[in-house]
Amino acid sequence: MTSDEALDRLVAAARSARPGGVRVREWSVHVAESRRASIGTQDAHTGGPHSPLGIAEALSARWHLVWEDGRVVSSDLDRTAIEEGLGEAIERARAAAREDPDAAQVAPPARMPDVSLLDSAAARMAAGDLAPLAGRLRAIRDRLASHGFRTWSGSFHATHTTARIVTSSGLDASSESTLAGWHATFDGELGNGHVARAQDGDAEFEVRLDRLADLAARLRLPAPPGGARSRLAVLHPAVVRSLVFGTLLHNLDGAAVAHGESRFPAKAFGSRMPVFPEGLSLRVEPLEPLKAGSYRFTLEGVPAAPTTFVDRGRLVTPVLGLKYARRLGGRPTGIPVASDALRLSGPPAIALEEALESAPGGTLVLAVLGVHTQDRASGDFSLSAPQALAIAGGSARGRLRVTMSGNVFEVLADDALRLVRFPGEDVPGLRIRCAVENR
């Protein structure tokens, strides 16, 4: 069964459904078919039993049905359910239907943006040709030996996906995309990598790997006496992604806003009252070629579009799909599916060297433990950073173990805030002021 055949079956089932005499008034069907290849390394053992060379095929489908009495239901269906006939799935969909007027809609026809999402080399890898990875695996093993690391773990993967959405209102759109990425961690301490619609180039890969190895090596150096002596900390982009973007996106989520689970009430969006410092902006740019965060349309069939969530300190819109756009009286927005599509701007931007010069006695925070345990609604954070470097004399070297605490929103409002350009990173680092305690 091809994905188009699967889609035809689902559409036919939706059109002909009549459980208990009730018809489907509107429907939306999304089908995706993918191939994926991957190989992992665990404790320096590449392709071992816990991270074997893997090849996978998958077909997935989701339908959203609006019954003629206005009740709605959404279900994920697998190949088996589709192949064996959808009668039972229809009966279940009817039994599970709920009253939810804001969800009783499907996407209308729309012109989907042209955005480059497909890379032929990544597609070949996804089909199982992993030979191009041999040189990269060798390069990692070389760094392991040359820096004297004990072990490394990591993975390489590539996925090739075709997707199509059809709705009862006449929308019929498709997309073909790839995703390729890698990640490596030395000595179980510090990791980094890259993910996009295409692999990073060989030269870019080598440089990124060298930066990672250099930072991991610096962690082995002793810290200066006294440890951290300043409340200034420079957050690596990896920390910004998880802590700062994670907090902001939780509070910008349309469902969280609508249900009072966000720091921001619905009335704050569109208001002239700034909730962040003047100048701070956050937007998503999902149309840039070959970025992981780029896409053509959402699972609901909403076209990708650049969207500004925060404009010069003022809240513009939450992140909205169809349901919460209707609930909150807005329009569906672009979705931040990966951090390389997010743009944080406004605070003065400085180079990493300048950031280190400006924070003597401070801490370069490379990784934190416990971000997922924080209370996103309050913005309060209290984190452990066992992978941190002491800043002295304009450079970062010597391991610190610190705990950091504060509040993300207060950090973003502080006049010490700077965007910090880290070479090779899509996301900026941040220089912030917060409580830093030596452990």
Partner 1 sequence: MIERLEALDGLGAEIAARAARAGVLAVWRTQLRSVRRVVVRAGRTEESTSAVFSGHGVQVRTAEGRMALASRDGLDPLPALRLLDRAADATRSGESLGVASSADADLPVVVARSVPSGLEAFEETEAPAVAARLAEIEREVAAAAPGVRLRLTWVSDLDAWRVLRSDGTDVLYAMPRAVLRAAATTDGDGSRHSIGASVAGPDPRLAWNERLAGLFLRRAVAAARLARELPDALVHPAGCPPLVIDYTLAKGLAHEAFGHAAEADGFRSSVLARDGRYRTGERVGADRVSIVDEPIPGDHAWQPYGPNGLVRERAAIVDRGALADALADPWSAAASGVAARGSERAESYRSAPLPRMSNIRIEVADPLPAPGSFEDYGAAELRDLLSAAGVFRRHAAVSWLSGYTGGQVNTATGDFVFHCKAIRRITRDGDVLHRPAIFSGSMFGALAAIREAFGPLALDAIGTCGKWGQNVPSSGGSHFFLVLDPDPSFRLGGS
Write out the binding residues for partner 1, residues 367-396 only, by CB under 8 A. Answer: 369-370, 372-378, 380, 382-384, 386-387
Q: Does 361 bind partner 1 (CB under 8 A)?
A: no
CA distance 331 to 324: 9
Q: Does 214 bind partner 1 (CB under 8 A)?
A: no
Tokens linked to 347: 């605070």
Q: Does 283 bind partner 1 (CB under 8 A)?
A: no
CB of 197 to partner 1, least distance (A): 20
Q: Does 44 bind partner 1 (CB under 8 A)?
A: yes
Tokens linked to 12: 């036919």
Q: Does 326 bind partner 1 (CB under 8 A)?
A: no
CA distance 147 to 129: 30
Of the pair 53, 351, the CB lying nearest partner 1 is at 53
Of the pair 89, 430, the CB lying nearest partner 1 is at 89
Using the rule CB under 8 A, give the single segment among 16-24, 69-77, 163-171, 269-277 that binds partner 1: 69-77
Surface-to-core class of residue 18, CB atoms within 10 Å of its CB (0-12 exposed, 13-18 middle, 19+ buried): exposed
Sign of CA pseudo-dihedral 334, 338, 339, 340: negative
Half-sphere exposure of 168 (CA within 13 A, CB side): 21
Concatenated DSSP letters of 297-335: B-TT-PBP--EEEEETTEE---B--HHHHHHHT------
CB of 397 to partner 1, least distance (A): 18
Of the pair 219, 356, the CB lying nearest partner 1 is at 219
CA distance 251 to 249: 5
Q: Does 6 bind partner 1 (CB under 8 A)?
A: no
Q: Does 401 bind partner 1 (CB under 8 A)?
A: yes
Of the pair 82, 112, the CB lying nearest partner 1 is at 82
Residue 396: which of 436, 354, 434 has the closest Cα? 354
Q: Does 162 bind partner 1 (CB under 8 A)?
A: no
CA distance 326 to 334: 15
CB of 81 to partner 1, least distance (A): 6
Q: Does 166 bind partner 1 (CB under 8 A)?
A: no
Q: Which residue among 20, 21, 49, 226 contacts partner 1 (CB under 8 A)?
A: 49
Report which residue type is found at 252. Answer: L
Using the rule CB under 8 A, give the single segment among 166-174, 197-205, 358-366, 398-406 that binds partner 1: 398-406
Nearest 5°: the CA angle 321, 294, 105 is: 20
Using the rule CB under 8 A, give the single segment among 147-155, 280-288, 310-318, 350-358 that binds partner 1: 147-155
- On whether the CB atoms of residues 26 and 104 are closer than 8 A, the answer is yes
Q: Does 15 bind partner 1 (CB under 8 A)?
A: no
Q: Does 224 bind partner 1 (CB under 8 A)?
A: no
Q: Does 95 bind partner 1 (CB under 8 A)?
A: yes
What's 294's DSSP letter? -
Write out the binding residues for partner 1, residues 238-277 only, by CB under 8 A. Answer: 255, 259-263, 265
Residue 106: which of 170, 174, 17 has the closest Cα? 170
> What is the distance of C-alpha 56 from the center of its chain?
22
Q: Which residue among 74, 162, 308, 345 contacts partner 1 (CB under 8 A)?
A: 74
